[in-house]
Amino acid sequence: MKIDVLTCFPDMITPVVNESMVKRAQEKGLVEIRLHDLRDFSGDRHRKTDDYPFGGGDGMVMTPQPLYDGIRTLLKQAPEGVRSRVIFPTPDGVVFDQRMAETLAGEEHLIFIGGHYKGIDQRIRDLLITDEISIGDYVLTAGELSSMVIMDAVIRLIPGVLGEINSALSDSFSEPLLDCPWYTRPEVFEGMAVPEVLLSGHHANIEAWRKEERIRKTKERRPDMWNAYQDKGDVENG
């Protein structure tokens, strides 16, 4: 997969993509990430990329020209026949979830736009953006942060990125229940012992305990998910 990020702040993203899982995914050749400074596409002699909103109001709007030229340049660089998705993270987008991450993980080329201030000129959204995605009902100052969240969730699902594919499959949200608690050594820490069943070596009992814990946590924290899980069970069981 190729990922291009068009941003006024490439330095915000560099350290994140050069660490840990995303770094390894690049080293394995499973993903290629390129960062592009939006100011390089500005026709303005001060490399400006924003301006005051028509009609008045506080804050600035990102101007269409640098985004138009930048996105079109990146689209032209995509290999023949590849459908590129141009993603604009924004609090008024569709709310991101694991299903969306799975869909995006199957794509060959993603372009992320780092939005700032009041956002970007609507004409760019109408002309070139294919996906407007929110990472939740709160407002960040930098679209780079939401781009990194979406990128991380997507890249880890590309086959070969995680050593243990099972660990991605049993994540909270890959299945319709939240994850269970996990323990490692030592057996007792600060006077707190690991649940005995996990030391029993009895696989069926361990699986049953994990399932109970997942159900308990889901009921407690996410009644919406619990209701959906029960409805699905009713359908499957006739």
Told to check if 135 binds ligand ADE by CB under 6 A, we report yes
Contact (CB, 8 A) for 169 and 27: no
Site string (194-233) toward ligand ADE, x via CB under 6 A: ----------------------------------------
Told to check if 139 binds ligand ADE by CB under 6 A, we report yes
| CA 199, chain centre distance (Å) | 35
Told to check if 143 binds ligand ADE by CB under 6 A, we report yes
Told to check if 134 binds ligand ADE by CB under 6 A, we report yes
Residue of the chain from 146, 153, 162, 210 that contacts ligand ADE (CB under 6 A): 146
DSSP 110-160: EEEE---TT-B-HHHHHHT-SEEEESSSS--S-HHHHHHHHHHHHHTTSTT
Told to check if 8 binds ligand ADE by CB under 6 A, we report no
**What is the DSSP secondary structure assignment for residue 31, as one 8-state letter?**
-
What distances in angstroms separate CA 216 from CA 70, 78, 98, 225, 227, one per listed residue? 49, 47, 21, 12, 13
Contact (CB, 8 A) for 129 and 70: no
Q: Which stretch binds ligand ADE (CB under 6 A): 66-74, 75-83, 89-97, 184-192?
A: 89-97
Residue with smaller CB distance to ligand ADE, 139 or 235: 139
Residue of the chain from 136, 160, 181, 233 that contacts ligand ADE (CB under 6 A): 136
Q: Which stretch binds ligand ADE (CB under 6 A): 75-83, 135-143, 161-169, 189-197?
A: 135-143
Told to check if 117 binds ligand ADE by CB under 6 A, we report no
88: β partners: 132
Told to check if 100 binds ligand ADE by CB under 6 A, we report no
Residue with smaller CB distance to ligand ADE, 90 or 218: 90
Q: What CA–CA distance (Å, rounded) separates 186 from 172?
A: 25
Told to check if 140 binds ligand ADE by CB under 6 A, we report yes
Q: What CA–CA distance (Å, rounded) separates 21 from 78?
A: 25
